[in-house]
Amino acid sequence: MKHLLYFLIPAILLVACGPQERVSKNVFDEVNSSMEAKKLSEAQITQEAMIWGDSISSEAQQQLMANLHKAVEENGYAEALEFCNVNAAPIIKLLSDKNGVSIRRTSTRTRNQDNMPTEEELPILEAYQYNMENGIENEPNIQKIEGGDVLLYNKAIVISSEFCLACHGDPKNDIEIDVLSKIDSLYPRDLARGFKVGDLRGMWSIKLPKKSVVNRL
Ligand code: HEC
């Protein structure tokens, strides 16, 4: 049995990596030839990824905030909380599909477990946290991932005002009892409480296919 496993593991790895690498090589060649045709440098592509990522994250932020404010004004925080529970992910998904990219919000202290950081995202979040604690300004940045085929745009999300505290602040002083009990029942493993204004809450993480970035230029 052991021998079979030794044999199987490399075989599985080959199957898992083989076709993917081929696709990646095709994408690589295609991106390369269109970069050459357009005489583009890596720096221009990174700059365009930054512009695109800034615009997508602003739009996503604006849409979430507009919907959230409306829900709070109409029905109060407890109802708005349920609104977030049901609608935050679909709003982000719709924008992802519209742009042909993958948009996420992630944090080391998540409310929704689906937003837990990936291996690529965790060190970026940690760097943002370090900067925040040491008075260094956090700028959005671009990381090359998936062998350079994808540009990962990320941007810090900060607890910008007291408004956020109604659902992410100190459970004793900032979050109303009915809101807190809704959080506890919807998110039994919630870590996204106890924040203060100015704290790092998380980040936007947007995967931009390099090919699409090149096509924008
Ligand atoms: C009405 C309550 C409410 C308010 C106000 C609110 N949030 Fe949230 N927030 C939530 C809920 C609920 C979720 C989980 C959404 C989900 O399930 O996808 C969430 C998730 C998040 C996430 C995603 C990461 C995670 O923990 O899952 C970020 C980032 C975030 N909020 C930032 C903010 C910021 C910044 C503000 C203020 C501008 C704010 N929130 C105001 C309820 C709120």
Q: Which two tokens stand for residue 96?
A: 């992802």
Q: Is the pLDDT of residue 24 over 90?
A: no
What distance in angstroms lies between residue 39's CA and the mean position of ligand 1's atoms? Answer: 42
For residues 34 and 53, membership in a common domain is answered with: no
For residues 33 and 118, membership in a common domain is answered with: no
Strand 141-145 with 102-106, pairing: unpaired
Tell me the average pLDDT of the chain: 88
Kindly list the distances between the CA atom of residue 213 and the CA atoms of 18, 75, 135, in Å, as whole numbers in the listed order.
26, 41, 32
Q: How far apart are alpha carbons 59 and 159 in whole angstroms?
A: 18
For residues 50 and 83, membership in a common domain is answered with: yes
For residues 2 and 53, membership in a common domain is answered with: no
What distance in angstroms lies between residue 68's CA and the mean position of ligand 1's atoms? Answer: 9
For residues 107 and 153, membership in a common domain is answered with: yes
Q: Is the pLDDT of residue 7 over 80?
A: no
Q: Which two tokens stand for residue 23?
A: 């696709």
Contact in structure between 139 and 175 (CB atoms under 8 Å): no
Q: Is the pLDDT of residue 115 over 70?
A: yes
pLDDT at 22: 54
Residue 188 CB partners (closer than 8 Å, separation 6+): none
CA-nearest residue, atom 33 of ligand 1: 164
Contact in structure between 183 and 4 (CB atoms under 8 Å): no
| 50-107 pLDDT tens trace | 999 999 999 999 999 999 999 999 999 999 999 888 899 999 999 999 999 999 999 9
Length of the chain: 217
pLDDT band at 40 (very low <50, low <70, confident <90, very high): confident
pLDDT at 13: 37
Q: Give me the helix-helix angle, 177-186 and 42-99, nearest 10°.
A: 100
Give long-range contacts, CB 8 A cutoff, 24+ apart: 34-39.
34/211, 34/214, 34/215, 35/214, 38/214, 38/217
Return the residue matching tokens 């995967």: 207
CA 115 to ligand 1: nearest atom:
27
For a ligand 1 pocket test, name from 77, 122, 132, 164 the mutation site with the most ligand atoms within 8 angstroms of its C-beta: 164
pLDDT at 29: 80
Please tell me the pTM assigned to this model. 0.87
Pocket of ligand 1 (CB under 6 A): 68, 72, 77, 80-81, 84-85, 88-89, 105, 107, 110-112, 115, 157, 159-160, 163-164, 166-168, 192, 201-202
Comparing 9-23, 117-131, 188-202, the range with the smallest average pLDDT is 9-23
Burial 76-104 (b: 16+ CB within 10 A, else e): ebbebbebbeeebeebbeebbeebebbbb
Q: How far apart are alpha carbons 35 and 214 in whole angstroms?
A: 7
Contact in structure between 109 and 192 (CB atoms under 8 Å): yes
What distance in angstroms lies between residue 81's CA and the mean position of ligand 1's atoms? Answer: 8
For residues 162 and 193, membership in a common domain is answered with: yes
pLDDT at 145: 94
For residues 53 and 28, membership in a common domain is answered with: no
For residues 23 and 8, membership in a common domain is answered with: yes
For residues 47 and 31, membership in a common domain is answered with: no
CA 107 to ligand 1: nearest atom:
24
Tell me how many domains the chain contains. 2
Kindly list the distances between the CA atom of residue 180 and the CA atoms of 32, 172, 174, 192, in Å, as whole numbers in the listed order.
52, 9, 10, 12
Structural domain that includes position 60: 42-216
Q: How far apart are alpha carbons 175 and 165 in whole angstroms?
A: 7
What distance in angstroms lies between residue 186's CA and the mean position of ligand 1's atoms? Answer: 13
CA 201 to ligand 1: nearest atom:
29
pLDDT at 1: 44
